Chains A and B, each alone.
Chain A
Amino acid sequence: MEKRPLMEELKNRTGCEVLEAGSCPEGQAARVKIPLEKFLESASLLKNRGSFLLTMAAVDRRPIDGCFAIYPVFAVPADGLIIEIKTLLNPDCPTYPSLTPVVPSAHWLEREISDMFGITPQGHPDPRRLVLHPDWPPNVHPLRKDFDAGTTVLRVPGEMEFCPVEGEGIYRIPVGPVHAGIIEPGHFRFSAFGEDVINLQAQLFYTHRGIEKAAESKHFNHVALMAERVCGACSASHAVSYAQAVESLAGVEITATARYIRVILLEMERLYNHVGDIGNMCAGIGFSYAISRGAILKEKLMRMNMRLAGHRYLRGMVIPGGVRTGLKELPVIMSELAELESDLKRVTEVMLSSQALLDRMQTTGVLPLQAALDLGAVGPAARASGVDRDLRRDLPYAAYGELEFNVPVQEQGDVFCRLMQRIDECRESFGILRQAFERLPRGELAVSIPDLPPYRTSVGYTESARGANVHWIMSGPANTIYRYMVRSASHCNWPVVPLCVPGNIVPDFPLINKSFELCYACLDR
């Protein structure tokens, strides 16, 4: 397949208007404007050409041109192409035909758009609220421009809407939002028969902080700090995604030094997450040796972060235009990493020789390949089910295009595969770090960002330890951000978790949940 035919076919079939076709630092990007009648047709055309949905944003453009608009963004890895569709909607009764029946992975995105903008996706199979809790009044749409960010929203009485699960002997277990352990808040509702879970539903978005709204009308450098604080454990990944979005909007190319430093930061982040998770997954089965070993190795990595970048979560390093400072103590860290690699190997060997671990993890919490593909699962969770997709390889950014690494995949999609996936990915990360340390060129750390052209859109993405983090921005006047949209890996993966739980026993839920290691903060924003 070549680039031309896809774009040409799109033009012929839908009569779209190509707004912009060009290259961005991460490859080819095209923006097309599609009339509402052709919206679904173009989406199914793209889907049939092997693309997947990266993100989907809505914008209240009424102050600009009197319309609402939706912007689904597709990635076509076979062509190395990113296609953004723009479709304008009627401002008085904003509706459009729902994308979900064609591209199921849009289902949460569309429910979110319906909550935040009051734009109705017609024909959506599940029109319940998602982001706004039942005690939010109807007709409050926080991301509309006529909604002031500082508004105090009244509480109204309301009940959570869960699909009923009924039958003799079925009981419900409500859990949360405040949990027993040191984890984030979410409310789960299990329907169980004896020990067996029949159904699991969740009410999330407890930590919704209104970040996307807070970012509006702020200078793009200010928003960079917010991007970093979307999620603690993926700080670097979010920061790089956002910075790339700004850079491609401004049309600047960052220096090789900055690209390599970003790779090192991103891989250090992946490592401390994966190593911590490998240990933490064993907390689900009470295997204390592995829990404490994992925690010790993770702490070592965090301290390396501190010495390398001055921050345990690598914050304050990535800025739009490059990186803020150089890395310190590189040679020492390099040798310590080699030591840590062999430590990790020893620990995982011991773990994998435990029969109890295999018993509990194998065949538990299976995510079938087709479900992972349809629902758009990402990251290690998807690869553990056999989805061979990794943005670092498929649509390379930073310096990944120049480095050699493999993308491991597993087949079964159970908890054990997700453990093995992390172990395999750690090995690759050590390899990437070695190459990046060796090749790290000297040079300028950052380039300055020229004034942003107003009302233009752009997308930046990274493959974090949890999967694709996609940041979509639209610029406003005077270097501000007009609309900011974050789709994190957890946003993609939360919908698949309830799918993996039925058929397992209640005590296996913590294990299954840990094996996905999803983040609430970057889902809720």
Chain B
Amino acid sequence: MLKILKGLAKTRIVTEGPSNWGETRGRGLPLIDWSACPKRCSICQDSCPTGAITGKTVNPRLCIYCHTCRQVCPGNAIGETDIPLIKESSRPGEIGSALRERIKKVCRRSLHIRYVDAGACNGCDFEINSLTNPVYDLQQYGVDFVASPRHADMLLVTGVVTRNLEIALQKTYEACPGPTLVVAVGACACGGGLFRDSYASGGGVDRHVKVDVYVPGCPPTPAQIIMGILTAVDRL
């Protein structure tokens, strides 16, 4: 026991606010620079494994961030956005307090989330799990994961929605008291990713239930998922 207390005192606080998230950089969404693009070629479009590029724009809901397009581009015309996309959307420090405020006002103090895996690869699920770790500590904003859909205000859905989970997703959705917010997390949930349209899987969550917010990424970072939750609450 003594050791535990000593350890705790030494570590102090690890929980972070959103201002720190900007530091962790990763592969971003491809951004095609029109001026450098050799116009007539369509190599990026042809080599994209998910068909995310049409008419030289990238559909973030389909993109799996593999950067194949950036490598094949003969004109080096494809850059990338920052991950997380927070800096562009608002000043980072304000996101946490905005989320807390909105939840206090709109949801009467707390927001309850039920998570549903509808055929994910585990990546998105691990990132949702990270939201509850002491570093991101989603509870600091009044957000909680609940065990039953009966208590849920929001569904966080990952995965392509496989044939074997269609019914489970539908039943979970129906068990929620309305209005239910639905947030699709990850490329698979947003548009089917690499595995859409096969005998075993559909093409994303919106073919089955109404989706309020899409969080792109494969998997999206925890910061992006928190942004998604905030955006969804804003829609209420």
Contact = CB atoms under 8 A, between A and B. Distances in A.
Interface of A: 133, 142, 147-153, 177-178, 180-185, 205-211, 213-214, 222, 225-226, 229-233, 235, 289, 292-293, 295-296, 298-299, 302-303, 306-307, 310-313, 315-316, 324, 346-347, 349-350, 353, 519-522
Contacts of A519: 122
A152 to B, nearest CB: 7
Contact of B162 (A209, A222, A315): A209
Interface stretch (B32-40, B98-106, B163-171, B226-234): B163-171
Contacts of A181: 145, 147
B17 interface: no
Interface stretch (B21-29, B89-97, B205-213): B21-29
Nearest to A280: B129
Contacts of A147: 199
Contacts of B71: 324
30 contacts: A142-B200, A149-B199, A152-B199, A178-B116, A178-B172, A182-B132, A183-B117, A183-B125, A184-B117, A185-B165, A207-B119, A207-B159, A208-B163, A209-B119, A209-B162, A210-B200, A226-B195, A232-B121, A232-B124, A232-B126, A233-B123, A295-B134, A299-B130, A306-B26, A315-B218, A316-B27, A316-B66, A347-B7, A520-B122, A522-B121
Contacts of A150: 197-199
A295 to B, nearest CB: 4
B123 A177 contact: no
Contacts of A307: 24-25
Contacts of B119: 206-209
A153 B199 CA distance: 6
A520 B162 CA distance: 13
A522 B122 CA distance: 9
Nearest to B114: A178
Given A232-B121, A289-B4, A353-B3, A149 B198 contact: yes
B115 interface: yes
Given A299-B135, A316-B65, A353-B3, A310 B122 contact: no
B194 interface: yes
Nearest to B175: A178
Contacts of B4: 289, 350
A283 to B, nearest CB: 11
Contacts of B124: 232
A521 B193 CA distance: 15
Given A311-B26, A347-B7, A210 B199 contact: yes
A233 B194 CA distance: 17
Please list the 9 inter-chain residue pairs (A to B) with the smallest Cβ-Cβ separation, ordered nearest first.
A232-B123, A210-B200, A180-B147, A232-B122, A295-B133, A210-B198, A521-B122, A207-B119, A209-B195
A210 B192 CA distance: 13
B192 to A, nearest CB: 10
Given A151-B199, A178-B168, A350-B3, A185 B117 contact: yes
A206 B198 contact: no
Contact of B133 (A211, A292, A349): A292
Nearest to B27: A310
A522 B66 CA distance: 20
Nearest to A151: B199
Given A207-B119, A232-B125, A316-B66, A226 B133 contact: no
B49 interface: yes
B180 interface: no
Decide if the interface of chain A is mainly helix, strand, loop or mixed: loop
B160 interface: yes
Interface of B: 3-4, 7-8, 11, 14, 24-27, 49, 64-68, 71, 115-117, 119-130, 132-136, 145, 147-148, 159-160, 162-165, 168, 172, 193-195, 197-201, 218-219, 221
Contacts, number: 167
A208 B164 contact: yes
A453 to B, nearest CB: 24
Contacts of A233: 122-123, 126
Contacts of A235: 123
Which has the most chain B C-beta neighbours within 10 Å: A207, A211, A213, A233?
Answer: A207
B193 A229 contact: yes
Contacts of A521: 120-122
A242 B136 CA distance: 34
A513 to B, nearest CB: 15
A350 B128 CA distance: 28
A27 to B, nearest CB: 30
Contacts of A303: 24
Contacts of A153: 163, 199
Given A302-B130, A312-B221, A296 B116 contact: no
A180 B24 CA distance: 31
Contacts of A209: 119, 160, 162, 195, 198, 200-201
A209 B122 CA distance: 13
Given A292-B134, A298-B133, A306 B123 contact: no
A214 B24 contact: no
Given A184-B117, A316-B27, 5 more contacts: A208-B163, A225-B64, A232-B122, A289-B4, A353-B3
B121 to A, nearest CB: 5
B160 A310 contact: no
Which has the most chain A C-beta neighbours within 10 Å: B123, B132, B148, B193?
Answer: B123
Which has the most chain B C-beta neighbours within 10 Å: A153, A181, A182, A214?
Answer: A182
Contacts of B26: 306, 310-312
A207 B164 contact: yes
Given A232-B123, A306-B24, A347-B7, A225 B194 contact: yes
A312 B222 CA distance: 10
B126 A214 contact: no
A296 B122 contact: no
